[in-house]
A and B are shown apart, each in its own frame.
Chain A
Amino acid sequence: MSWTRRDALKGLGGIPILGAVWWAGAANTVSKKKERAALLEQLNIQPSLPPAVPGIGGAPVRVGIIGFGIRGEQLCRSLGFATKEWIEDMKTAEAEAEAEGKKHTALKDFMAQEKLNVELVGICDIFDYRANKALASFNTEDNKMERFRTHQEMIRSGKVDAVIIATPDHWHAPMAIDALENNVHVYVEKPMTHTVEETYRLREAAQKSKAVLQVGHQHRQTLSFQTARDIMNKGTIGHVSLIQTNTNRNDDNGAWNYHIHEDASPQTIDWELFLGSAPKIPFNKNHFFRWRKWWAYGSGLSGDLLSHDYDRLNCVLEMGIPESVTTSGGIYTHRDGRNVPDVLQVNMEFPNFTTGSSQKAGKEKGMTFVYSATLGNGFSRPTILMGHDGTMELGNRLTIWPDGRSTRYAEMIEAEKMNPNIPIYQYNPTATVPDAVASATSQYFADKGLMWTYINGVRVDSTFLHMREWLSATRNGGKVSCGIKEGFEEAIASHMAGLAYKLGRRIDWDPELEILKPIEGIDFDQALLANPFESQSLLTST
């Protein structure tokens, strides 16, 4: 066989093309990888792993649940107890989703959840339907459950080691204090208290008690927040002067207009007990099921949702109680008889706080925390921390962009190793590797919630982690993520925001004396609880 030069050229011509394409692909990928590795090395951020807590040894912890409404049921599920009705609902939802070719994993996730060494032995709910519902599902061969008429009976029964308080806000502190004084462990929903005065009493009770208190800010278990702490400690985004947090909701459920159960009547609900310290009014289903809409039992956006956002940032920055708070807002989207605002803007000032500085010493100090909320629009505004060197978007995922005028990254931006439009760091707690420079594609899939991996094959719920940590501390000692210090700060900050709204003036904190700076002629708790429309309605009715 003899080959001409032409044959050789045409026969082997593909090889140099192949070499070139292969080289280009390999070189591009490898150099990008190197750049990314260098960037990550410089940032030196340690993604947090799921927290390890010592197991709950010995006899099962005997838990009582107080309040078996929407949140109470959710908390029981996190503890490992789901009602028969919920399981049936999830099966139906799963079948429906499957028919549409969609995934529905709520039941599967619940089944896969680690079993805690607990017994749910007591239920206390003043609505017969709810108490019976709990008994029907949880009073079984393996788990004996008993109904208690009042929280005092449950706490003093000697039958519970720990209680979960998921009642309206005005019952949080009285129940928690009573339990702590009897050395019964407490998991209390947020806001920790309903008035300023009881915040101090609860702090005292917690400090004196042998029992463990955990406040229900389960966000503290979210891995991205723990990673954010590491990032802030390293001064990655420089001095943060402004934080923006938001609530954006646009539906009845989000505006607390919950379902009113058909069995509700003065015969099935212990109305007097519901009212407790609240003003005595005749039986009112609307108030019972939708209590979050009135200052007498709830605290509206400031206590209900701002408290979460404040605590999320307090968990990352530990900025403590603001020195002053101003608030504005009104009832603009749900004029349905409620007296808490549905549009609220809160400005918290921290004039002496800093997250570190990359500039001349003394140039930067002080920060404003803004909370902006409406119940009339659901457009998603993310939580943003604005620093001199970068911007952090903080959610379940965490993204950092360098700032175009950053001092710290000036050289890298000049050398085009960083670009203000491209994130320098992205952390997705569910992905296996942190992504330094995310492509539009992976960003998109992550946004859609599709980039989940699972911790040991199980998708873990943060409330479960928060409860597990609390239960473990009751047996093994150790610190909880949201104890009385954190709860105290959250409660005071929320009350300051509520008071600033109701009084229409700035509320100041005295960090030396640890009190709200008094305003002449104003009783803070009276102002906080007052019905702003009472005087008006009195006028119109006479």
Chain B
Amino acid sequence: MEQTKKRWDLKDTLVVLRLLVGWHFLYEGVIKLYNPDWTSFGYLASAQGPFESFFLWMSSESMIGIADWGNKIALIFVGLTLLLGVFERVGALVAIGLLALYYLAHPAFPWVTQLNVEGSYWFVNKNLIELVACILLFQMPTADRFGLKRLFNTKKEITKTELS
């Protein structure tokens, strides 16, 4: 029986990227879910940059509950979709939205005081990089390679092993 050796390709790396991003989002969501004292108030109320007033409004008494729960649900949703490999493109879009909000609330602009940052950033920070990674995940879905989608996919990926 002859078997063609399958090489580790781009799509495999994308699967790893998807799993890591999903892992990160899920953990952030679960931590918040199990901690009843957690609130996004501090992050929102100290927002800076061009959208400061929008984030301040989000931190207002009437909005903060929605903001907190919206964030928790969205984080866990992204985590589930990316880890399980189902609706991954929707998950990636939600992740892009969340990361854009995080970035804009505390943008790494040189004229804005950097609050609570563990590194040095000039326009580019980790939120922005993860955001671009999520665009990549949106453009190149991989759930048919690794994920629940593979089980429901009728058009199976043609793999060379099946030929033998």
Contacts and interface: CB of A to CB of B under 8 A. Distances in A.
B138 interface: no
A51 interface: no
Interface size range of chain A in the complex: 20 to 34
A262 B154 CA distance: 89
Residues of A contacting B: mostly? helix
Contacts of A11: 85, 146-151
A337 interface: no
A141 interface: no
Contacts, number: 86
Contacts of A25: 26-27, 29-31, 33-34
Interface residues of B, number: 35
A261 interface: no
Nearest to B24: A21
A15 interface: yes
Interface in A1-42: 1, 3, 7-8, 10-15, 17-18, 21-22, 24-26, 28-30, 33
A195 to B, nearest CB: 49
A101 B52 contact: yes
A374 B147 CA distance: 67
Interface string A434-448: 010000111011001
Interface in B112-164: 115-116, 145-151, 154
Given A18-B84, A433-B37, A29 B30 contact: yes
Given A14-B147, A29-B35, A450-B46, A444 B30 contact: no
A93 interface: no
A243 to B, nearest CB: 31
Given A11-B150, A13-B146, A30 B34 contact: yes
Given A17-B23, A22-B26, A10 B146 contact: yes
B42 A33 contact: no
Nearest to A454: B61
Interface string B32-63: 01110100011001100000110010000100
Contact of A17 (B19, B56, B61): B19
A7 B150 contact: yes
A448 B149 CA distance: 48
Contact of B85 (A14, A433, A445): A14
A457 B19 CA distance: 44
B105 interface: no
A463 B63 CA distance: 31
B79 interface: yes
| 4 A-B pairs closest in CB distance | A25-B30, A445-B42, A29-B34, A11-B151
20 contacts: A10-B150, A12-B151, A13-B147, A14-B85, A21-B23, A21-B79, A21-B83, A25-B30, A26-B30, A28-B31, A29-B31, A29-B34, A30-B34, A435-B37, A444-B115, A445-B42, A445-B45, A448-B46, A450-B45, A450-B46
